[in-house]
Amino acid sequence: MRHRIELTWAAVAREHAHMDWFLVRPLCLVWLLCAAALASGGEPLFTFGAVSDIQYGDKETKGKRQYRQALELLPRCVEKFNAERPAFVVQCGDLYDGYEKENGEDVDREKTRVEASRVLLVLRGIGAPLYHVLGNHCLRAGKEFVTRELGRECFYYEFTSAAAKGWRFLVLDGNDAGYEIMSPEQIAWLGERLAEAAKAGERVIVFCHYALLKEAARNHRLKNGDSVLPVLEGAGCVAAWIAGHDHAGGYFERAGIHHVTLKGLVESRAVPDFALFAVFSDRIIEDGFGAEPDRVLALGAIGR
């Protein structure tokens, strides 16, 4: 029998309305980490960082999107990653906002590239290995630019980490067959990699710019998620699907897979929205910063 505990700072704040908010949050985190450490028998196996939809642009704020502030907040995110020394960091897409095409012409691809370079310069201050997920806005700098600057021809790939034995990480490209559409070739590749991981007794975490489930991302998702879900759920080794794109964020568990949609950093208030994940043998603890919630994600047995 598996247990799932959901703890959000908002819920705690309601219960402890008389206490100072800045006192409650660190105390709760200490409690959460102690409880998890006791339950899991000590230190996490490894930790990793994740940030999504930085979406920087040298342009006026639009709705909740504070394009210029994103670049100002990003160093705080980098500092935290460097202080915590995670095994790796994943940026889940849409590094910059860029400029859309108008009447078939680029509005200003060069300006997009200048802004992209500013964000990348800050991200290169991260000491841990950094993995990129390609977002729809990333494509506005052009394929040649992202290939050169993000260092890949193909944006669906896998990686491992020496710190994360028994784990495999898959990065998917949700635009390789068009906007929010994943190609059948890539879905077949995903199935092969998951079968390989299951055979080796490994657990898998998948990163994609797009969420699959409406319950985890109410506004925007992959268009052909229904073709991906059976592959994911049939594998029996997937622990989590971590996405972005839908700035509101969200969470849902289905078939033992935790679908986490990260809040967009571009919509952060005074503190950047991002997360650190501590992985234990029986759970993953998400430590959210800014408006990103904290969660405890229980892990079931492999091959369920």
The reply on whether position 221 binds Zn ion by CB under 5 A is no
CA-to-CA distance for 281 and 102, rounded, in angstroms?
A: 50
Task: Please report, as residue ranges, which positions from 120 to 139 form the binding site for Zn ion (by CB under 5 A).
Answer: 135-136
- Helix, strand, or coil here: 255? coil
Contact in structure between 260 and 295 (CB atoms under 8 Å): yes
When the beta carbons of 8 and 136 are compared against Zn ion, the nearer one is 136
When the beta carbons of 47 and 186 are compared against Zn ion, the nearer one is 186
Least Å distance, CB 185 to Zn ion, is: 22
- Give the side-chain half-sphere CA count within 13 A for 256: 20
Looking at residue 260, the DSSP 8-state letter turns out to be E
The count of residues interacting with Zn ion (CB under 5 A) is: 4
For Zn ion, the nearest residue by Cβ is 245
CA-to-CA distance for 287 and 174, rounded, in angstroms?
A: 26
Looking at residue 159, the DSSP 8-state letter turns out to be E
Least Å distance, CB 245 to Zn ion, is: 4
Q: Which stretch binds Zn ion (CB under 5 A): 23-31, 159-167, 240-248, 263-271?
A: 240-248
Residue whose entry in the numeric block shows the structure tokens 């797009």: 210
The reply on whether position 94 binds Zn ion by CB under 5 A is yes
Q: Which stretch binds Zn ion (CB under 5 A): 64-72, 146-154, 199-207, 239-247?
A: 239-247
When the beta carbons of 46 and 96 are compared against Zn ion, the nearer one is 96
Angle between helices 225-235 and 184-199 (to 10 degrees): 10
Task: Please report, as ranges, the residues that interact with Zn ion according to CB under 5 A.
Answer: 94, 135-136, 245
